[in-house]
């Protein structure tokens, strides 16, 4: 496995690649397994929740997502895991349905480290995608962090940056000198 360089929005050459629409991945592809492992390692090294192939310079419709475990603190101070972590590999993903209601939440991006802004997105999505074996799968009415991450990563595959989704640019702020905001980078 290898940590790859993540392209940056504020670099002119990188931005050209980030703004390009990614092409479909042809399956089966024996090289994808290693690429997916590298993408997960790169995402984890950068403390991210999601990473799309264009962010590492590959114009392919491929994204990985990591949803951390849900932890609750008990009255005695101990912590208990109430939901395990989840990993998703989305090959040629396509959102086929969206919720009608919008939710605005603080969102960041590994291609613009430290910067967060309020991004409105549909409150749920249904997504279809392929697995490594070429079979198509569907996640229905996904909400919360997973829905936001799916939408963010598919935007990357379409050449759309999260900063373009922000309606009020005054919410886009560099939080590196402050305490880290609660949402993770996607």
The distance from CA 171 to its chain's CA centroid, rounded to whole angstroms, is 20
- Exposure b/e, 114-139, CB count within 10 A at least 16 = b: ebbbbbebbbbbbbbbbeeeeeeeeb
Q: How buried is residue 104: exposed, middle or buried, by Cβ count under 10 Å (0-12/13-18/19+)?
A: middle
Q: Residue 151 and residue 173: Cα distance in Å, rounded?
A: 21
Q: Residue 164 and residue 142: Cα distance in Å, rounded?
A: 23
Q: Which of 94, 103, 153, 182 is catalytic?
A: 153
Q: Is 153 one of the annotated active-site residues of the chain?
A: yes
Catalytic residues: 153
């Amino acid at each position: 496995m290898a940590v790859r360089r993540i392209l940056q929005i504020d670099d002119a050459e990188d931005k050209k690649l980030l703004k390009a629409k990614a092409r479909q991945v042809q399956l089966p592809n024996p090289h994808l397994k290693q690429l997916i492992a590298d993408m997960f390692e790169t995402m984890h090294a950068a403390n991210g929740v999601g990473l799309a192939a264009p962010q590492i310079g590959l114009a392919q419709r491929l994204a990985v997502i990591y949803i951390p475990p849900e932890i609750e603190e008990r009255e005695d101070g101990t912590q208990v895991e109430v939901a395990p972590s989840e990993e998703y590999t989305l090959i040629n993903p396509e959102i086929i349905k969206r919720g009608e209601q919008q939710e605005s939440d603080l969102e960041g991006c590994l291609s613009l480290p430290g910067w967060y802004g309020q991004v409105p997105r549909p409150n749920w999505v249904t997504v279809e995608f392929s697995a490594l074996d070429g079979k198509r799968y569907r996640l229905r009415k996904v909400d919360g962090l997973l829905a936001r991450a799916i939408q963010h990563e598919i935007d990357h595959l379409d050449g759309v940056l999260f900063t373009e989704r922000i309606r009020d640019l005054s919410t886009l702020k560099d939080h590196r000198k402050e305490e880290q905001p609660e949402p993770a980078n996607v």
